């Protein structure tokens, strides 16, 4: 059943797949981000309590949701790498970590810039904010641990274990607003009930969410290509690739 998947464990095939996928993720992603942001900034109605400051939601909520989804995706890649010994799975893991860290940073930063006018403070050490900060540290920890090993298979295993252990933080972030008293409001969209938001505010939010998800996929694919080249440095196909990409002027 899963036989069709096996050739993609081979680095050259995986690289070709990344090249094929990249434009389909990148350009629709950028387009959706632009449409979602502009719609949210200029055309969505004002919030009756928060005025125009609520428009930060169009970057804050997508980045917060996806900071967690990206972490789960990274941990799944780590699990595949550890269980089936796929080298390419560890490459996918480390390709996702930096963009996940950037998205987590965006969630934290926009949260602070939203908290200042609404709560009167940039930062409080409450459950939601602290657990999201820990998520950023987990991403940075995975990157640092991976970088600390010369042998990248070892590095993948060590960082993979850390990524897997860190998964426990994801439900803590999600339920933090229910388990503890917090300044942060409860879930608006990511709950099983009907979303408690007007549709004309929700649509641009969903488009921005889709756009950011595609953007993260695009960056993951870009970095995946880099990881493959880094590991296949001495292979002839990388040489051909370099000659084609950089022009043949220095070819040997």
Partner 1 sequence: MQFDSLQAFFAMGGYALYVWLSFGVSLLALVWVVADSASAHKKLLRNAREEQARQSRIAAARKAQTVQSESEQTGS
Interface pick for partner 1 out of 110, 131, 169, 176 (rule CB under 8 A): 110
The reply on whether position 155 binds partner 1 by CB under 8 A is no
Contacts of 87 (CB under 8 A, 6+ apart): 9, 11, 81, 153, 156, 231
Under rule CB under 8 A, residue 225 binds partner 1: yes
- Report how far residue 145's alpha carbon sits from residue 149's, in angstroms, rounded to the nearest whole number: 7
Which residue among 45, 48, 84, 125 contacts partner 1 (CB under 8 A)?
45
Listed in order, strand segments (DSSP E) in 19-98 are none
Angle between helices 11-38 and 199-231 in degrees, nearest 10: 150
Binding of partner 1 by 242 (CB under 8 A): yes
Exposed / middle / buried, residue 134 (Cβ in 10 Å: 0-12, 13-18, 19+): middle
114 binds partner 1 (CB under 8 A): yes
Decide if residue 56 touches partner 1 (CB under 8 A). Answer: yes
How far apart (Å, rounded) are the C-alpha atoms in residues 86 and 94? Answer: 13
| Contact in structure between 166 and 22 (CB atoms under 8 Å) | no
199 makes contact with partner 1 (CB under 8 A): no
Task: Name the one range near partner 1 by CB under 8 A: 66-74, 84-92, 135-143, 214-222.
Answer: 214-222
Does residue 102 belong to the site contacting partner 1 (CB under 8 A)?
Answer: yes
Residues forming contacts to partner 1 in the complex (CB under 8 A) are 33, 37, 41-46, 51-53, 55-56, 59-60, 63, 98-99, 102, 105-106, 109-110, 113-114, 116-117, 215, 218-219, 222-223, 225-226, 229-230, 233-234, 238-239, 241-243, 245-246, 250, 252
């Amino acid at each position: 059943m899963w036989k069709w998947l096996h050739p993609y464990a081979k680095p050259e095939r995986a690289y070709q797949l990344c090249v094929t996928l990249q434009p389909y993720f990148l350009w629709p992603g950028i387009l959706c981000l632009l449409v979602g942001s502009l719609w949210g900034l200029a055309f969505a109605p004002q919030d009756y309590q928060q005025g125009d400051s609520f428009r930060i939601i169009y970057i804050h909520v997508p980045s917060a949701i996806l900071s967690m989804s990206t972490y789960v995706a990274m941990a799944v890649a780590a699990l595949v790498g550890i269980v089936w010994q796929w080298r390419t799975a560890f490459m996918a893991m480390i390709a996702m970590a930096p963009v996940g860290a950037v998205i987590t940073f965006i969630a934290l930063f926009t949260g602070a810039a939203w908290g200042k006018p609404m709560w009167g403070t940039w930062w409080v050490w409450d459950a939601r904010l602290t657990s999201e900060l820990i998520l950023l540290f987990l991403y940075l920890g995975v990157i640092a641990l991976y970088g600390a090993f010369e042998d990248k298979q070892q590095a993948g295993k060590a960082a993979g274990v850390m990524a897997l252990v860190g998964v426990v933080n994801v439900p803590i972030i999600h339920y933090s607003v229910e388990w503890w008293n917090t300044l942060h409001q409860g879930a608006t969209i990511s709950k099983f009930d009907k979303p408690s938001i007007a549709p004309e505010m929700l649509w641009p939010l969903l488009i921005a969410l889709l756009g950011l998800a595609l953007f993260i996929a695009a960056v993951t694919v870009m970095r995946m290509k880099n990881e493959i080249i880094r590991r296949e440095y001495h292979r002839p196909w990388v040489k051909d690739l370099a000659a084609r990409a950089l022009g043949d002027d220095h070819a040997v």
